Amino acid sequence: MAVLGHVDHGKTSLLDKIRGSAVIEGEAGAITQHIGATAVPLDIISSIAGDLVDPDDFDLPGLLFIDTPGHHSFTTLRSRGGALADIAILVVDVNDGFQPQTLEALDILKRSQTPFIVAANKIDTVPGWDPNEDAPINDTYESQSERVRQRLDESLYEIIGNLSDEGFSADLYWRVQNFQRNVGVVPVSAMTGEGVPDLLTVMMGLSQRYMKEEMEIDVSGPGVGTVLEVKEEKGFGKTVDIVLYDGTIKEDDTIVVGGQNDPIVTEVRALLQPRPLAEIRTESRFENVDEVGAAAGIKVAAPELGDAMAGAPVRVVRDRDLDDVIEEVQAELASIAVDTAEEGVVVKADTLGSLEAMADALDEAEVPIVRAEVGDVAPRDISVASTAEDPKQQVILGFNVDVLSDAEHRAETDDVTIFTDEVIYQLVEEYDEYVEGIEQAQQDTILENISRPARFRILPDHTFRQNDPAVVGVEVNSGTVQNNATVVKFEGNEPERVGQIKGIQEQGEDVDEARAGNRVSVAIDGPTVGRQIEEDDELWIQIPEKHAKILEQELADEIPADELEALNMYLDKQRSRDPFWGK
């Protein structure tokens, strides 16, 4: 069973409350940094749940909680067919309501069709709350004042409404008859323990129902599992924390583990198990065991694990053919390989499952990937990203990973931009915005270097100078007349070059351009008034065919409407001679 939810909504606290340990106390910043799993035996559950649970009703040994710091490892477990995460608790802060990671978690639950319940956490923070330590929700609810009850109800109904917006029919858990069709919402407080008995009771009921049907663990065969985390451990070197969902693993077993390059074949040196009611991340509480059976979270110490990847498969060889097992691991890795392109961005993620989820999201956003790997952002990633020709692809997108400090330096000197986030769609959004910014800047420079369309007319009685240069008063009908632009006049539909603008004056002041509606005097180098041009003539700024094409196809949305009108009139004239002009 996995616990999901937005940052700080109380996943760790809730697990802590349940397991009765105080991991959170020793954790820097109280942020979940590692993945752990805790088995809570049935007798402990029933003692917490009190009257709500009768142990005789259950034939499950207890519940195994996987503490996911993000939903990605959950995805990994699901996609590997891990029976461990068959049901889920989605934690939502009653005051905060739905947040980005709540939605992302819901999306994963929806796609994987995982039964789940919602823990509406932190009910003790409802103003005026009168806490009743560890009480079932009904008891404590009844003892609250009318106002407090009303406030809580409002928050709960908002959560139920949010769930329904996402397509889930939900209700307070005691009103739910069929948990298969409806999502039960359980009000709890991880702080005071209120509602925790209810939560456990519902979880037991759900697991009993689903696990009995869906879980068939072969406890005797060679072990099958998934790497949750790769960790350096004093005295052991690189170790892997795995979830074993099938079979057994023993000391001295030969195992095959998915690696960055090839599958790693190695031998188990030590199996380190958390003591009962401890969890993998509290290091000092390991004990050495000879053998472990599914389902369990276990730390494996073995040589050559440096290349192992979180999310990768682990298989015990035992009496099977080594090549067959290697092939199985390879096949499983291939099924989660990310398609890469010749050019694109570099993607890093903390587990294979999250890498896969990132790749899906980027594929949807039509962002090509040149390289996708599990692990922190390292200098060699910067090297790869810096070789991209397109500045939009000189980018690294890191999901739930750190940036090594030497990589950070390299990124600065090599002009590589790194984005990191803990929410996939936010990461994609940040990148989208970045791309938009670059495109806008590119368009701005294109606009600066492109002839802008304009149609203007020489005003009667406004010839100030005949030639060298001709100086005439004009009115701009549409578009933008810019200094140094080339002027043409259409004879029928044939553009004739007239000359070049060598100065624009508006009310005696020099200006760089004149916009539609302006009356200005322009100096035109080339023509003589009365010969090539006459008063009342309609003149145009010449648009080279290439520019016309860019303007029409790429910048039509960027330029002002009157300029677009001038462009279209210009195109009409050109195309009446040559239908493919500027296409």
Ligand X SMILES: Nc1nc2c(ncn2[C@@H]2O[C@H](COP(=O)(O)OP(=O)(O)OP(=O)(O)O)[C@@H](O)[C@H]2O)c(=O)[nH]1
Nearest to ligand X of 7, 404 (CB atom)? 7
Nearest to ligand X of 31, 322 (CB atom)? 31
Confirm or reject binding of residue 410 to ligand X (CB under 6 A): no
316 is in an annotated binding site: no
123 is in an annotated binding site: yes
For the record, the structure tokens of 399 come out as: 């999901």
Per DSSP, 259 falls in state B
Confirm or reject binding of residue 95 to ligand X (CB under 6 A): no
What angle is formed at CA 266 by the lines to CA 220 and CA 245, rounded to 5 degrees?
Answer: 35
Nearest to ligand X of 19, 455 (CB atom)? 19
What angle is formed at CA 61 by the lines to CA 246 and CA 92, rounded to 5 degrees?
Answer: 90
Nearest to ligand X of 190, 298 (CB atom)? 190
259 is in an annotated binding site: no
Nearest to ligand X of 24, 384 (CB atom)? 24
Neighbouring C-alpha atoms within 13 Å toward the C-beta of 570: 32
Confirm or reject binding of residue 72 to ligand X (CB under 6 A): no
* Tally of helices (H runs) and strands (E runs) in the chain: 14, 29
**Single residue of 22, 31, 219, 441 touching ligand X by CB under 6 A:** 31
557 is in an annotated binding site: no
381 is in an annotated binding site: no
CB of 30 to ligand X, least distance (A): 4
Per DSSP, 531 falls in state T
C-alpha span between 579 and 396 (Å, rounded):
45
Neighbouring C-alpha atoms within 13 Å toward the C-beta of 464: 12
For the record, the structure tokens of 386 come out as: 């810096």
Return the H-helix or E-strand segment holding 88: strand 88-93
481 is in an annotated binding site: no
Which single residue is written with the structure tokens 């760790």?
Answer: 12
Widest CA span in the chain: 110
CB of 147 to ligand X, least distance (A): 19
Confirm or reject binding of residue 9 to ligand X (CB under 6 A): yes
Q: Give the footprint of ligand X on residues 306-325 (CB under 6 A).
A: none
11 is in an annotated binding site: yes
End-to-end CA separation in angstroms for the chain: 60
CB of 31 to ligand X, least distance (A): 4
Nearest to ligand X of 9, 452 (CB atom)? 9
Nearest to ligand X of 32, 521 (CB atom)? 32
Range list of β-strands (E), 162-247: 170-172, 183-187, 224-233, 237-246
**Single residue of 1, 4, 12, 136 touching ligand X by CB under 6 A:** 12
CB atoms within 10 A of CB 177: 8
Write the binding mask 106 to 125 for ligand X: x where contact by CB under 6 A, - elsewhere. Answer: ---------------xx-xx
Residue count of the chain, please give it: 583
Nearest to ligand X of 122, 315 (CB atom)? 122
CB under 8 Å to 163, separation ≥6 — which residues? 106, 118, 169, 170, 183, 185
Confirm or reject binding of residue 11 to ligand X (CB under 6 A): yes
Residues linked to residue 520 through DSSP beta bridges, in sequence order: 474
Nearest to ligand X of 350, 381 (CB atom)? 350
CB of 305 to ligand X, least distance (A): 26
**Single residue of 5, 36, 247, 527 touching ligand X by CB under 6 A:** 5
CB of 211 to ligand X, least distance (A): 25
517 is in an annotated binding site: no
Confirm or reject binding of residue 68 to ligand X (CB under 6 A): no
**Single residue of 1, 2, 4, 13 touching ligand X by CB under 6 A:** 13
Nearest to ligand X of 71, 489 (CB atom)? 71
Q: How many residues bind ligand X (CB under 6 A)?
A: 18
Question: Cα–chain-centroid distance for residue 515?
Answer: 44
461 is in an annotated binding site: no
Confirm or reject binding of residue 455 to ligand X (CB under 6 A): no
CB of 105 to ligand X, least distance (A): 11
Nearest to ligand X of 191, 569 (CB atom)? 191
What angle is formed at CA 25 by the lines to CA 24 and CA 27, rounded to 5 degrees?
Answer: 60
Confirm or reject binding of residue 22 to ligand X (CB under 6 A): no
CB under 8 Å to 422, separation ≥6 — which residues? 7, 70, 101, 399, 400
Q: Give the footprint of ligand X on residues 173-212 (CB under 6 A).
A: 189-191
C-alpha span between 310 and 274 (Å, rounded):
19
469 prior amide bond cis, ω within 30:
yes
CB of 70 to ligand X, least distance (A): 8
Could you tell me if 537 and 458 are in contact, meaning their C-beta atoms sit under 8 angstroms apart?
yes
7 is in an annotated binding site: yes
72 is in an annotated binding site: no
**Single residue of 20, 22, 26, 30 touching ligand X by CB under 6 A:** 30
139 is in an annotated binding site: no
Per DSSP, 32 falls in state -
C-alpha span between 379 and 406 (Å, rounded):
6
Confirm or reject binding of residue 330 to ligand X (CB under 6 A): no
Q: Which residues of 253-291 are buried (b: 16+ CB within 10 A; e: fewer)?
A: bbbbbbbeeebbbbebebbbbbeeebbbbbeebbeeeee
10 is in an annotated binding site: yes
Could you tell me if 506 and 518 are in contact, meaning their C-beta atoms sit under 8 angstroms apart?
yes
Which single residue is written with the structure tokens 């959950």?
Answer: 74
C-alpha span between 379 and 386 (Å, rounded):
11
CB of 98 to ligand X, least distance (A): 14
Give the binding range for ligand X (CB under 6 A) out of 26-34, 282-290, 403-411, 543-551: 26-34
Q: Give the footprint of ligand X on residues 122-161 (CB under 6 A).
A: 122, 124-125
Binding positions are 5-12, 67-71, 121-124
Q: Binding site for GTP: what residues are annotated? A: 5-12, 67-71, 121-124
Binding site for ligand X (CB under 6 A): 5, 7-13, 30-32, 121-122, 124-125, 189-191
